[in-house]
Amino acid sequence: MNDITIYHNPACGTSRNVLALIRNTGDEAKVVEYLKTPPDRATLTRLIAAMGVPVREVLRQKGTPYNELGLGDAKWSDDQLVDFMLQHPILMNRPIVVTPIATRLCRPSEAVLDILPRPQQGAFTKEDGEAVIDAKGQRVAKP
């Protein structure tokens, strides 16, 4: 049974790194490619509530119609911002990961480590070459 779900964009390096960190525990996540299968309103609002963050924190600006839609304007209500994310799923920041421990927007990718139920099983290096987990499955200290 998959008790981990990732709202994933395979074109996003951070999202790919998070999925790889999940798999490095020996678990497999339910992968929801939210651009192909966007969450419905109830799911999206439940995810935002579970993360305990403002709706605006879930909005992605880079590579989206954020500026064209004027979403930086404070006039938009949370419900309206959710409507925009439902109309334009690319506005949803990613990856969002749901585990039995918590629901979190995992940026940077290492944020997922705090909510995974099982420990890392071996070394892990991000796509950009940054070592995250050593051969003993421990976090690599940042310089």
Q: Which residues are catalytic?
A: 12
The stretches of 1-143 forming alpha helices (DSSP H) are 13-23, 41-51, 55-58, 78-87
Query: Position of tokens 């480590």?
Result: 113
Residue 119: which residues within 8 A CB-CB, separation 6 or more?
Answer: 25, 137
49: helix, coil or strand?
helix
